[in-house]
């Protein structure tokens, strides 16, 4: 375990869809910061709660390793990395503390517009491109479907047109990216939104009180929004 600390460190996305809303939500909890010159670290001024600005995919690992205490990340990223970590650890390494009500999207299977979609078994023997191999494999296994998972880290929607895959499994928000690539969503695997994530084990130092204070303010802020 990481040594006890007297400040709370929250990892948020540096740039991307969750970056601004995450900061705005924390600011509405009364947090304010002084930014470092490289803008990767924000030192908490109103409370000892600092921000680390990182890539969203790094957030679960930073929490699991104790580098950060909390994080704001998509449930999709958290769920994928939770499954990925199950292979080499016993229990979960992090947990979802609160859904935050922004960044809504779903992880879905999408197929070319021309397909006549009836049921998941049509995916048997196909190649499915995704950045979420764990969530996709788990779902395929649950359905008893044998398909090939093609791992791509981005631009997944273009894979069918490039002949790399027959179908995809990716995030859908407005649906614009799918439509632009002549794909249609046919099956939802996971409903997602931004969540506050924390370690699986409770803090045993002053961070426990800081987290309690933050959660109280967060719940107040979320109540007003809803
Ligand atoms: C996400 C996702 C899809 C797209 C869906 O990518 O991977 O490609 O948004 O949104 P839409 O349905 O509104 O078109 P994004 O570039 O936001 O994030 P990423 O770089 O983490 O993939
Ligand atoms: Zn990302
Ligand atoms: Mg994308």
Domain range for 115 is 105-192
Q: Is residue 114 part of a domain?
A: yes
Q: Is residue 17 part of a domain?
A: yes
Same domain, 12 and 96: yes
Q: Is residue 181 part of a domain?
A: yes
Same domain, 133 and 208: no
Same domain, 30 and 140: no
Q: Is residue 124 part of a domain?
A: yes
Contact between 132 and 80 (Cβ < 8 Å): yes
pLDDT at 36: 78
Mutational pocket test of ligand 1: of 13, 59, 171, the residue with most ligand atoms within 8 Å of the beta carbon? 171
Same domain, 135 and 179: yes
> What's the structural domain count of the chain?
2
Q: Is residue 220 part of a domain?
A: yes
pTM: 0.94
Same domain, 185 and 214: no
Q: From ligand 3's centre to the CA of 157, what distance in Å? A: 8
pLDDT at 30: 97
CATH of residue 186's domain is: 3.40.190.10
Same domain, 64 and 121: no
Same domain, 95 and 113: no
Same domain, 21 and 125: no
DSSP code at position 21 = H
Q: From ligand 1's centre to the CA of 214, what distance in Å? A: 29
pLDDT tens over the chain, length 226 residues: 455 589 999 999 999 999 999 999 999 999 999 987 778 999 999 999 999 999 999 999 999 999 999 999 999 999 999 999 887 777 889 999 999 999 999 999 999 999 999 999 999 999 999 999 999 999 999 999 999 999 999 999 999 999 999 999 999 999 999 999 999 999 999 999 999 999 999 999 999 999 999 999 999 999 988 7
Sheet architecture: strand order including 105-112: 148-151, 127-130, 167-172, 105-112, 183-192
Q: Give DSSP secondary structure letters for 106-163.
A: EEEEEEETTS----GGGGTT-EEEES-HHHHHHHHHHHT---EEEE-SS-GGGTTTTT
Sign of CA dihedral 205, 216, 62, 33: negative
Same domain, 122 and 41: no
What is the β-pairing status of strands 94-99 and 127-130?
unpaired
Same domain, 41 and 55: yes
Q: Is residue 3 part of a domain?
A: no
Contact between 222 and 101 (Cβ < 8 Å): yes
- Report helix, strand or coil for 168: strand
Q: What is the ipTM of this complex?
A: 0.92
Q: From ligand 3's centre to the CA of 81, what distance in Å? A: 17
CB-ligand 1 contact for 170 (6 Å cutoff): yes
Same domain, 118 and 83: no
Q: Which of 57, 64, 2, 9 is nearest to 214 (CA)?
A: 9
């Amino acid at each position: 375990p990481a040594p006890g600390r007297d400040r709370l460190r929250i990892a948020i996305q540096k740039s991307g869809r969750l970056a601004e809303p995450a900061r705005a939500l924390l600011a509405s909890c009364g947090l304010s910061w002084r930014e470092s010159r490289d803008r990767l670290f924000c030192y908490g001024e109103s409370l000892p709660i600092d921000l680390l600005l990182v890539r969203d995919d790094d957030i679960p690992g930073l929490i699991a390793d104790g580098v950060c205490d909390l994080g704001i990340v998509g449930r999709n990223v958290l769920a994928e990395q939770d499954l990925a970590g199950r292979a080499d650890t016993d229990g979960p390494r992090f947990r979802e503390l609160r859904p935050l009500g922004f960044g809504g999207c779903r992880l879905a299977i999408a197929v070319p517009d021309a397909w006549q979609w009836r049921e998941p078994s049509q995916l048997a023997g196909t190649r499915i491109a995704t950045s979420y191999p764990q969530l996709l494999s788990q779902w395929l296994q649950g359905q008893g479907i044998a398909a090939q998972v093609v791992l791509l880290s981005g631009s997944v929607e273009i894979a069918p047109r490039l002949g790399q895959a027959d179908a995809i499994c990716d995030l859908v928000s407005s649906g614009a990216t799918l439509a632009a690539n002549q794909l249609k969503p046919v099956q939802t695997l996971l409903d997602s939104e931004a969540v506050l994530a924390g370690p699986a084990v409770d803090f045993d130092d002053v961070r426990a009180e800081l987290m309690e204070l933050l959660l109280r303010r967060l719940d107040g802020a979320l109540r007003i929004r809803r």
